[in-house]
A = this chain, B = another copy of it.
Amino acid sequence: MSPAQDVHAMAPTQGGLRLRSVGLSGIRKPLVVRRPDREHTLAVTFHVAVDLPSGRKGSDLSRNAEILAEVVDETATRPVGSLEMACSRIASELLARHSYATEASVRASAEYFLRQGVSEEKRSFEDYTLLAEATVSHAPSGGLLLQRAVGAEAVGMTACPCAMETCRELLTREHPQLADPALRDLPMITHNQRNRTRLVFEIAEEAEVEVDRVIAAIEAAQSSPTYAILKRGDEGEVVLRAHRHPKFVEDVLRDLLASLPERFPALPDAVAVRASTVSEESIHKYNVEASHRITLGELRHPTDG
């Protein structure tokens, strides 16, 4: 069948207005990624878009679905190195095949399972979220400009340092023995809760960020990581660890950011990080959260305070 007239390529009915972003959202695809341990099949949610010039009525969205299918299907036989690499490849193809576009952007998120455990023999799959973005645009110089972001979100636990001191004071009134210096370090009751923390690196072309190390950085900054399998003694160990590292969301964020220069020494100063953390407070029906954006250079060479 010969196709009907191309309505998308017609002039828009309303006077020309360039649109920043036109694309698909909520499209799900299975992406095969080769990781150090094994091949992972990620179920990815993609958002893909390009800009639209003022003289064209519509974006040719069926191309977006075709590109996604091609790049993703190919990974079934040739796994890609990372979610972020898939995003970069898709963004480049988008810009190449939408000849009228000046910029193409891809955002992706996917659930990711890692074998973790409170001890070696109690390891099982814990679920995390991977995040990746890629934007390709025509550089003024004539080449292509690629901006990327790669990150992860991990669920762990926080214990409140403020309520801990209040409870110590309350309980010491009832039990004066608690004032004994030998009990000064006794971890006291406080509220603790699920904490979701997200860390995303905005990186230049060559740099690589290993997501397992992003997850490790997040879990080290929470009061404690959490695990699917905890026998009785293990539960105690995790609770104890959390109460020996009581943290506000502010502490989680600062400890996470402060750890990055040492954990990611190879990344250049110009790399920016976006970090956010949410504690689903057990003593409130609402959440508490903190967020920040900063470059590795600013973290390495602080001028503030």
Contacts and interface: CB of A to CB of B under 8 A. Distances in A.
Interface of A: 1, 3-8, 12-30, 38, 40-41, 43, 49, 52-55, 57-59, 61-62, 65-66, 68-69, 72-73, 76, 111, 113, 124-127, 155, 157, 160-163, 165-171, 175, 177-178, 180, 182-183, 186-194, 224, 226-233, 235-240, 242-243, 248-251, 253-255, 257-258, 278, 280-294, 299, 302, 304-305
Given A4-B168, A24-B287, A40-B41, 18 more contacts: A4-B170, A12-B250, A13-B251, A18-B305, A20-B291, A21-B289, A69-B124, A155-B285, A162-B232, A163-B236, A171-B186, A177-B177, A189-B240, A191-B239, A192-B193, A194-B194, A238-B283, A282-B282
A118 to B, nearest CB: 10
A281 B64 CA distance: 15
Contacts of A304: 16-18, 54
Contact of A305 (B3, B55, B59, B278): B55
A168 B254 CA distance: 31
Contact of A8 (B29, B65, B162): B162
Nearest to A298: B17
A43 B111 contact: yes
Contacts of A66: 229
Contact of A227 (B126, B238, B283): B283
